Amino acid sequence: MRFVSLAICVSACTPAPTTLQEALLGDRDRGDLVAMRAHGWELWQHLAGGEHLAWEHWPATEQMFAAKPVARPKFRTPRPFRNGDAIEAETLPVMFDVLFDPHAARHVRVQHLAEREVLDTLAELPAFPTDATAVKLTWYAVHAHGLTAMPIWDGEPAQPDADGNPDRTWQRAIAVDPDRTVIPDGELADVTLGGHAFSAKVRPLSAFLVRDLVAEDLESARRATHDPSLVAGDHVALVAAHVSTKEIPDWTWQTYWWHDAPTEGRFAAGKPELHGAAANYLMDVTYSAGTPCFNPWLEARFPDGLQSNCVTCHQRAVVGAADYLPVTRTRLKSDDPYFAGHIPTDFLWSVAFEAR
Ligand code: HEC
């Protein structure tokens, strides 16, 4: 009810928004999840729903920020972190890369944001342009032959572990088959993953957005996945994608992940007809710090990761930041002691961590 009365007031009491930014800020301020989700699906359609992936030729951060030119983007393992006395490290063949679209990349170049010397002289980081987009893509290595076991996150487990829910602890797995594109619905295969045996539904590799590994990828892919047997012609399947756009000052935050039941549940809500494998992803979105918004592949593994939120973490990206953990819950004011003597990097952790 609150929604309806507010919506009526917004159209009746304030002038209709004239710019996309005003419209998005209106969606945020009204808490209009339906509108934010519609925008998130539009973005996905634009990025992943066409013949070519929009990010195919975008530069990777290690290319933009390296002191010496880097020819190929490199795959990286999600950062290990300390959890009590233990170090939590990714054990499955999961890797990521971060890419900036040409508008964001140009801003880094023109403003010299890759140079620590320059950042250290700034009173304030020049804000990224409103057409800037950044993506963090998460890939799962799939060998060219044979079945690859992959865990599936089915939403909050009955007893979520506040200490972290890394992928190797998820309750279900599928088997990815690269050799067939049509697989009967109930087909099962026995696989093991992280020491557990699963009777797994078999799904074709073609159900994923996929990249094929070429010789130049092998060194970083083998290192990132701890799998020295990867060869050219093997594949990486996109299991997760974070997408942020500077359409509003605090950026919009969308996150997508693959699921074998991609039309079910609240993370499928509002999904339009999508072309090809792009249709098999779920989505969550947030424009502000209040509610949890996370991607199972990237943030579920953190202590309190299921309560994490893109904005609360990214707001703490500052020049010279030491760490991005623990997960926090509040939006900081600009005079918070956290920012004393530190210049925020317009929410981008790559600028904070990778400028040299
Ligand atoms: C607890 C901290 C944390 C949370 C929560 C978090 N991120 Fe990030 N994010 C990072 C870090 C750190 C990086 C830099 C790459 C790396 O080292 O993993 C990053 C990188 C990114 C990038 C690439 C641009 C950049 O900042 O370098 C995007 C886009 C992004 N995240 C989006 C999201 C979205 C969307 C969410 C919420 C669904 C989210 N992030 C939640 C820490 C976080």
Rounded to the nearest whole angstrom, what is the distance from the C-alpha of residue 294 to the centroid of ligand 1?
10
> Which range has the worst mean pLDDT, 11-15, 21-25, 125-129?
11-15
Q: Is 306 in the pocket of ligand 1 (CB under 6 A)?
A: no
Give me the pLDDT at residue 14, please.
59
The pTM (predicted TM-score) of the whole model is 0.94
> Which range has the worst mean pLDDT, 17-21, 34-38, 90-94, 147-151?
17-21
* Average pLDDT, integer, range 73-93: 92
Choice from 313, 318, 328, 330 to test ligand 1 binding pocket (greatest atom count within 8 A of CB): 313
Give the list of residues 6+ apart from residue 241 with CB closer than 8 angstroms, or none: 47, 48, 135, 136, 137, 138, 255, 256, 257, 281
Q: Is 293 in the pocket of ligand 1 (CB under 6 A)?
A: yes
| Angle at CA of residue 12, ends 8 and 14, nearest 5° | 115
Give the three-class secondary structure for 37: helix
Separation CA 229–CA 151 (nearest Å): 21
Choice from 96, 97, 242, 304 to test ligand 1 binding pocket (greatest atom count within 8 A of CB): 242
Atom of ligand 1 nearest to the CA of 244: 29
pLDDT at 2 over 50: no
Q: What is the pLDDT of residues 333-354, one digit of tens each?
A: 999 999 999 999 999 999 999 9
| DSSP code, position 204 | E
Confidence of residue 13 (pLDDT cuts 50, 70, 90): low
Q: Is 349 in the pocket of ligand 1 (CB under 6 A)?
A: yes
| For ligand 1, atom 41: residue with the closest CA | 310
Give me the pLDDT at residue 208, please.
98
Confidence of residue 31 (pLDDT cuts 50, 70, 90): very high
Q: What is the pLDDT of residues 218-264, one digit of tens each?
A: 999 999 999 999 999 999 999 999 999 999 999 999 999 999 999 99
Q: Is 294 in the pocket of ligand 1 (CB under 6 A)?
A: yes
Rounded to the nearest whole angstrom, what is the distance from the C-alpha of residue 1 to the centroid of ligand 1?
34
| For ligand 1, atom 39: residue with the closest CA | 310
DSSP string, 215-260: GGGHHHHHHHHT-TT--TT-EEEEEEEEEEETTSTT-EEEEEEE-S
Rounded to the nearest whole angstrom, what is the distance from the C-alpha of residue 164 to the centroid of ligand 1?
17
Give me the pLDDT at residue 291, please.
87
Nearest to 350 by CA among 166, 105, 88: 105
Atom of ligand 1 nearest to the CA of 313: 2
Atom of ligand 1 nearest to the CA of 316: 2
Give me the pLDDT at residue 70, please.
81
Confidence of residue 322 (pLDDT cuts 50, 70, 90): confident
**What are the residue boundaries of the structural domains of the chain, listed by start?**
19-354
